[in-house]
Amino acid sequence: MSNSERVVLVLGGAGTVGSGVVKALLEKGFKVAVISRDGNRLDKLKSFVSPNTRDNLTTLVGNVGSEEGAEQVKEALLKTTGKVTDVVSSLGFSWWQGGPPHTQTVKDLHWVMETLLYSTFVSWKAFFPLVKDNTDYTYTFITGGAGEKLLMPGTGFLTVGAASALAFCQVLREEYPEVVCKMNQVNIDTGVATPDRMAPGYLNHLDLGEAIAALVERRSTSHTVYTVKCPEDLKTVLLDQNL
């Protein structure tokens, strides 16, 4: 199957990480679909990608964080694109520093879990059936290293939510050992930023996007976790590996 025959749904594609992935996939000739609750973010994404690839980008306003919303937008997506061959899940937020746990409320914790875990689960439940039975299809999770350690005081709920997402990915690898689509995880254990907001050690979201696009394109591994801790890892862990 050529790249032009594949339709990649990038969940979280209007965010910092996701937009880099979308741009890279489009430049490799894929058709790409992005869903967001915020139409303005979708408009910004359209203006961000290269004009000569924009016709291959489908955007839809919808909510993949609720079961009803995910099913509705899935139906609309399939009417537009006809199929989904690959999914890249980059949901959630990159930072939360609301304070130590004793200063937070159950509502705060619920919001973090809804954003980092519930949306990942609900969207997987909706879109995984579209790709799971085809050896040429893929489902790639992008997760964060915050789930493995407390980044700094006040970020505890970020750790709890990110750790839940990591555990969910582990559960899927072990619950579905025989699934034939290529199911992988890229765990980003450093910051990711746009070129104008780079800091030492951070990943440029465009470089990360190219690495994720290469993984999706090659589809030669499954049930694998790729950990990226620094910019050099994009080459040694993802690009130079026999994917």
Over its length of 243 residues, how does the chain's per-residue pLDDT go in tens digits?
A: 899 999 999 999 999 999 999 999 999 999 999 999 999 999 999 999 999 999 999 999 999 999 999 999 999 999 999 999 999 999 987 789 999 999 999 999 999 999 999 999 999 999 999 999 999 999 999 999 899 999 999 999 999 999 999 999 999 999 999 999 999 999 999 999 999 999 999 999 999 999 999 999 999 899 999 999 999 999 888 877 544
pLDDT of residue 243: 40
**How many angstroms separate the CA atoms of 128 and 111, rounded?**
24
Find all residues with CB under 8 Å of 125, minimum gap 6, and list them.
67, 70
DSSP state of 189: -
Q: Residue 106 CA to chain centroid, in angstroms? A: 26
> Class of the 3-239 domain?
alpha beta
Query: Under the phi-then-psi rule, with left for phi > 0, alpha for psi from -120 to 50, and beta for the rest, what region is 201?
Result: left
Q: Where are the alpha helices (DSSP H) in 114-230?
A: 119-131, 156-175, 205-218
To 5 degrees, how large is the angle CA 114–CA 120–CA 123? Answer: 110
E-strand stretches of 37-181: 57-61, 86-89, 138-144
**How many angstroms separate the CA atoms of 179 and 177, rounded?**
6
Q: Judging by DSSP bridges, how do beta strands 86-89 and 138-144 pair with one another?
A: parallel
Residue where the block lists tokens 């955007």: 59
pLDDT of residue 238: 81
Q: Judging by DSSP bridges, how do beta strands 7-11 and 31-36 pair with one another?
A: parallel
What backbone phi and psi angles, to 5 degrees, belong to 208?
-60, -40
